[in-house]
């Protein structure tokens, strides 16, 4: 009896010790998890540094946004330019995958091809640098032959924006504000513009655009980063998919004709992943006009909601970039005018087609094409659109 009671006591003591030990381990694990979470949050950071001074004496800053994965986006308030963006490859190596310059002077040069910039008031081209609104003709700067391109001589890519840092649970960011005054570059209305860049812990660069006006005007904002997912070489082996059955063919000046043409049976068909260079040298009128791809695709099933509309895959790095947007169009530009005359970051010479752009937008020349979706903004209305560039690997 005595021995039996001792066994039972031992068993009870064993169970109690086991429960206590398990509880301690569980608490330890919870503490470790909490520590790791806090560590992740601690890695999210914003740093501000001076980037230089404009020719008219305005100081310019650069902001480094770091997420919990130790990936960074550097953005300057000059032109809202994304100077660098780092993302891991399939082996975890982090590299910069956008084209640009080491310093502000590079971006101020007249020949800078809009590396990483915010584009406005009107992204892309307006034919003959004119449009009519409410019976009045507005004349814009003809800075692309006889046409108007990317907001004119001094578009949103060449102004200093007011900047405010953003910190959220899963992202760090930058809010940029700019008042484009009535008559600036020929556009009517005082346009108050806000652009928010958010860099998330999912390696997403989220861009939220909004604007209001005090007079009827036209607005079409976009982003102009040149991506190279390999971080070197050209982009001809990048596999591109665009969810669009139609595109807007252009004339010799790259102004849309007004037609929506099927991509089927043409070099414009990226409905299935296809190498950028697979058909870029074909004997095709549209490719000759653009010296490659420099066209707008009419995205499928547009209804203003957020959708994944394109993806790019680069096999040597394993990097994938997805493009999600609320916009109806996507301009794919294959870096045709890069010709080796520009030296960018770390002394790298940007040769032909060393970067590609995927610019979410309303269609080019919409103010002159009544059958295209309107880009008119009126007082009391709010322009609002969002685009996300998401980076991952396989």
Catalytic residues: 224, 359
Name 217's bridge partners.
377
Q: What Å distances lie between residue 224 and 27, 82, 309, 366, CA to CA?
A: 49, 9, 17, 19
Angle at 150 between CA 146 and CA 154, to 5 degrees: 90
CB atoms within 10 A of CB 42: 9
Angle at 150 between CA 149 and CA 155, to 5 degrees: 120
Instruction: Report the alpha-carbon distance of residue 248 to residue 362 in Å, rounded.
Output: 11
CB atoms within 10 A of CB 339: 12
Q: What Å distances lie between residue 227 and 223, 315, 357, CA to CA?
A: 12, 15, 6
E strand map for 67-126:
72-76, 81-88, 94-96, 117-119, 125-126
Which of 340, 233, 250, 345 shows the shortest CA–CA distance to 293?
250
CB atoms within 10 A of CB 130: 17
Instruction: Report the alpha-carbon distance of residue 227 to residue 229 in Å, rounded.
Output: 6
């Amino acid at each position: 009896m005595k021995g039996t009671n001792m066994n039972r006591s031992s068993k009870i003591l064993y169970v109690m010790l086991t429960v206590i030990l398990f509880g301690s381990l569980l608490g330890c694990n919870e503490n470790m998890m909490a520590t790791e979470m806090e560590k992740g949050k601690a890695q999210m950071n914003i740093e501000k540094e001076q980037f230089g001074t404009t020719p008219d004496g305005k100081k310019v800053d650069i902001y480094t946004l770091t997420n919990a994965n130790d990936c960074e986006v550097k953005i300057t308030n000059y032109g809202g330019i994304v100077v660098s963006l780092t993302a891991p490859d399939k082996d975890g190596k982090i590299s910069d995958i956008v084209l640009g310059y080491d310093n502000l002077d590079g971006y101020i040069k007249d020949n800078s091809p809009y590396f990483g910039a915010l584009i406005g008031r009107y992204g892309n081209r307006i034919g003959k640098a004119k449009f009519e609104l409410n019976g009045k003709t507005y004349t814009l700067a003809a800075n692309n032959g006889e046409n108007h391109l990317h907001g004119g001589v001094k578009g949103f890519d060449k102004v200093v924006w007011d900047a405010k840092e953003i910190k959220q649970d899963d992202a760090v960011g930058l809010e940029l504000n700019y008042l484009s005054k009535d008559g600036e570059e020929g556009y009517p209305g005082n346009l108050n513009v806000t652009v928010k860049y958010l860099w998330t812990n999912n390696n997403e660069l989220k861009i939220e655009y909004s604007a209001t006006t005090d007079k009827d005007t036209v607005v079409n904002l976009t982003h102009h980063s040149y991506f190279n997912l390999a971080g070197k070489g050209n982009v001809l082996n990048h596999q591109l998919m665009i969810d669009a059955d139609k595109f807007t063919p252009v004339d010799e000046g790259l102004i849309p004709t007004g037609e929506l043409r099927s991509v089927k049976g043409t070099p414009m068909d990226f409905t299935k992943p296809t190498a950028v260079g697979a058909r870029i040298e074909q004997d095709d009128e549209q490719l000759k006009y653009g010296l490659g791809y420099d066209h707008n695709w009419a995205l499928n099933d547009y209804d203003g909601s957020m959708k994944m509309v394109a993806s790019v895959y680069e096999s040597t790095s394993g990097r994938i970039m997805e493009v999600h947007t609320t916009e109806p169009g996507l301009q794919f530009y294959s870096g045709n005018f890069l010709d080796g005359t520009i030296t960018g970051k770390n002394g790298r010479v940007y040769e032909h087609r060393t970067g590609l752009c995927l610019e979410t937008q309303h269609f080019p020349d919409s103010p002159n094409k009544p059958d295209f979706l309107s880009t008119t903004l009126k007082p009391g209305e709010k322009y609002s659109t969002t685009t996300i560039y998401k980076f991952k690997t396989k």
